[in-house]
Amino acid sequence: MQDRTLVHAPGRARHSEGARGQAGLESSSNFPEMGASAAAVLEAAERLFGERGLESVSIRDIAKAADVSISVIYHHFGSKAELLRTLLRLRLSELGRMREAIFTALDAEPRPELRRILYGIIAPVARLKAPGSGRQATMQFLARALVSTLPEVTEEGDATVRQLRRVVRLLERALPELGHAEICWRLHFTFGIEHMTHWDDQRLALMSEGDCDGGDVEESIARAIAYAEAAFRAPPARAAAS
């Protein structure tokens, strides 16, 4: 029988957090910022990029999937690179909005709670993969985009990373005993936890011979938060001697 003790403790923090910031985790799968034809292009592009990879999809492929002419895509976006840049910007902005309610509330606290900060980092992506969310295409696209070296992708990603300085400041107030560099290292590794937890749950199922269900969103969030919290509360690391 599985030991659920580890799951329930973070779960209580999660439910409390959800009551305060649930609106920030709600999201729509369409593109309300765009007109109908542009939205159709973005939805088709997101699905194809996620299925085939960013480099393998052509403008012609996207036009066919969206049932529009190639000229419509060039009218709205100008190029495949700009289409990809726009799509990634919209999805990263969506994740930012999902985190905003949580981080705004934490900004007002003299010493914000570590678990609530970690919830704001880890939970939004997990919500995209919740059963019935209809966001599989978004998950697949983000999984490919965040490891891409295409210039248009890395430029958008770098802009988002700069926004993490706000999270660094929250963590510095939550853990004043840790220095700036130590906080940044641990936050860097925490995003690795987020990526592996939500985009590679099949590895977990294979490794555990089916004993662990990475598709259980609530358990996934709870365990990821518990692990990250333990890492942040560990003593400062010492650099290896040269």
State residue 25's pLDDT score: 42
State residue 168's pLDDT score: 96
197 contacts 122 by C-beta, under 8 angstroms: yes
**6-15, 46-55, 163-172: the lowest-pLDDT one:** 6-15
State residue 242's pLDDT score: 44
State residue 57's pLDDT score: 95
d(CA 115, CA 121): 10
Tell me the domains of the chain and their CATH numbers. Answer: 5-27+82-233 (1.10.357)
This prediction's pTM: 0.76
d(CA 206, CA 187): 28
CA-based diameter of the chain, in Å?
61
Cα atoms in the Cβ-side hemisphere of radius 13 Å centred on 74: 6
**190-225 pLDDT per residue, tens:** 988 877 766 667 788 888 988 988 778 888 899 999
**DSSP per position, 147-202:** T---HHHHHHHHHHHHTTHHHHHHHHHH-TTS-HHHHHHHHHHHHHHHHHHHH-HH
